[in-house]
Structure 1
Amino acid sequence: LKVPEAIWAHGSNKPLTATEILSHILPNSPTADPENLQRMLRLLTTYNIFVEHLSDTTPVQRRYSLTEVGETLVPDSDGLSYGDYIMQHHQDALVRSWPLVHMAVVDPVTEPFVRANGESAYWYYGKDEEMNELMQKAMAGFSVPFMRELLDGGYDGFERDVERLVDVGGSAGDCLKMIMQKFGNIKEGINFDLPDVVAAGPPI
């Protein structure tokens, strides 16, 4: 629904009521239910995603803003957020494996995802372009902000005569690209991942 983006509104993080939020995200939907949205927001408040602000009026009016955790769900200037990571972990194929997690202890020969879907997650996602794209965005949304903080924080581990750098499990190569752009001494970067994952990534 893009509720975090509606509240964030380019950095304002102004507390909004459920009705006000709906006016931003579903302006032309007469069936949109603010009461049900408010129930969801109240639930997510208990998980420290939103902050609930209560008015002094009667009846009480409830408004919601984002916590620091909630802010991670707002796309940055590159369109990345933890939102895609959360969505990827709630895909039907993955959810089907949840009731089978105990089998990783009972009989670890076959992983729960394979039991539920007949093949490994990487092969499963690799065959579906939409799911594969979501997984790529999920990995970038998780790793790129972390790498940005690491590099901006003054980490200098790549300055010491490093000329060739290999990123094992580098997904689309976003982090490797960021490192190479910052450290000119690195002449060669190797993004090591599954063939279909590397093939879907942009040039570094």
Structure 2
Amino acid sequence: MPIGDGMGPSIFSRPLSGPIPFLSLPSWYHLSSRFHVMEMKKENRSTESEDKARLAILELSHMMSVPMSLVAVIKMKVPEAIWEGGSNTPLTAPQILHRIRPQGGGDADNLQRILRMLTSYNIFAEHFSQTGERKYSLTHIGKTLVPDSQGLTYASFMLQHHQEELMRAWQLVGETVEDPTTEPFMKANGEGVLSYYNRREDARVLLGKSMQGMSIPFMRELLENYDGFHGVETVVDVGGNTGICLQMIMSKFPSVRNGINFDLPHSILSAPQIPGVTHVGGNAFDFVPEADAIFMKIEEVAEKGNCVVGMISLEKT
């Protein structure tokens, strides 16, 4: 069994095998009994809410392990290995390792620790074979990490938000309170965000893929249920990135003959040429190009803390 060292368990620590020499069964039973008595006494001085608070802060303290482990399985293409053409057949860690590393090597035990942890967050589903082996398949959440028929996936969105340069900036977020002129990204990386994306084509490509992977599935549903673009000739998409949303709107509504894809200059650098769409760089806080309708996808936090992603604001101007 794994033994903690007071600093929290490590997924890379090896579990002990065989009997534990310093803890016999009687002593363990005695210790458990004493612990139970202590727990009963504790009820007189601790409320249930305090217990939940302590557990919650412990979970938050280890929260970094979740996105970092998720990034790891994405980079190793674990979701695709399990999905394999739509089969989603439950596989053991060694079977998954063989698919992602057919040349051999790797550690199946460490992979299984990562899989088990992400299973607790409903990324993977765990199954037990008749021999007691643990097998893993994708949940509905896990399936969002697998490219669909158009090659779209939320995996790029996850990778985009956890780039090394962005993670370094997050460590300095508190300094913005002490000095509001501080730009964490600039201080952490020696250049601003615009300069970074202008210089790094790979970062721009990843940003484009992440936006497409998030926006296109949303737009499919929107266009199936919303007909407010009828009769509109010119639409400006504020924050349109590559212009794919405008392309989908114009394909569905022939009356929209002109599309203006408006976004920050670095966001449209890699935007492809789309018939009828003009790419314009700028800042929406300074100006928005004129059009018959303004289209925006807004992430809003509602009063009760519920996050509404993809709220639409369409206004005639």
- Between the aligned partners of 1:122 and 1:190, the Cα distance in structure 2 is 21
Once the two structures are TM-superposed, the CA of residue 135 in structure 1 deviates from its matched residue by: 1.2
Does 1:25 find its partner at 2:117?
A: no
CA contact (8 A) 2:242 2:271 kept: yes
Picking from 46, 58, 69, the partner of 2:120 is: 46
Once the two structures are TM-superposed, the CA of residue 197 in structure 1 deviates from its matched residue by: 2.8
How many pairs align? 199
Paired residues for 1:84-103 under 5 Å: 84-103=156-175
Give the match for residue 263 of structure 2. 193
Q: Deviations 1:11-33 (Å, cap 9, x if unpaired)?
A: 2211111111122221112x221
- Between the aligned partners of 2:192 and 2:204, the Cα distance in structure 1 is 13
Picking from 144, 160, 163, the partner of 2:216 is: 144
Which of the pair is proportionally richer in strand? 2
CA contact (8 A) 2:92 2:135 kept: yes
Give the match for residue 63 of structure 1. 135
Q: TM-score, normalised by structure 1?
A: 0.91
In structure 2, runs of 5+ residues without a counterpart are 1-75, 275-317
C-alpha RMSD of matched pairs (Å) = 1.5
Q: What letter is aligned with 2:100? A: I
Once the two structures are TM-superposed, the CA of residue 143 in structure 1 deviates from its matched residue by: 1.2
Give the match for residue 12 of structure 1. 87
Once the two structures are TM-superposed, the CA of residue 56 in structure 1 deviates from its matched residue by: 3.8
Paired residues for 1:98-137 under 5 Å: 98-137=170-209
Which of the pair is proportionally richer in helix? 1
In structure 1, runs of 5+ residues without a counterpart are none
Give the match for residue 292 of structure 2. none
Once the two structures are TM-superposed, the CA of residue 167 in structure 1 deviates from its matched residue by: 0.5
Once the two structures are TM-superposed, the CA of residue 120 in structure 1 deviates from its matched residue by: 2.9
Does 1:155 find its partner at 2:226?
A: yes
- Between the aligned partners of 2:127 and 2:137, the Cα distance in structure 1 is 8
Q: What percentage of residue pairs aligned between the two structures are identical?
A: 57
Once the two structures are TM-superposed, the CA of residue 2 in structure 1 deviates from its matched residue by: 0.8
- Between the aligned partners of 1:122 and 1:157, the Cα distance in structure 2 is 34
Once the two structures are TM-superposed, the CA of residue 97 in structure 1 deviates from its matched residue by: 1.1
Once the two structures are TM-superposed, the CA of residue 112 in structure 1 deviates from its matched residue by: 2.1
Q: TM-score, normalised by structure 2?
A: 0.60
Could you say what secondary structure the match of 2:171 adopts?
A: helix
- Between the aligned partners of 2:183 and 2:215, the Cα distance in structure 1 is 25
- Between the aligned partners of 2:107 and 2:117, the Cα distance in structure 1 is 16
Once the two structures are TM-superposed, the CA of residue 129 in structure 1 deviates from its matched residue by: 1.1
The structure with the largest alpha-carbon Rg is 2
Question: How has the CA–CA distance of structure 1 residues 149 and 120 changed in structure 2, closer, same or farther, with 3 Å as cutoff?
Answer: farther
Picking from 88, 96, 108, the partner of 1:34 is: 108
Larger deviation, residues 46-55 vs 111-120: 111-120
Once the two structures are TM-superposed, the CA of residue 140 in structure 1 deviates from its matched residue by: 1.1
Q: Deviations 1:41-100 (Å, cap 9, x if unpaired)?
A: 00111111101112342xx20001111111100011221211011111111100101211
Q: What letter is aligned with 2:78? A: V
Could you say what secondary structure the match of 1:96 adopts?
A: helix
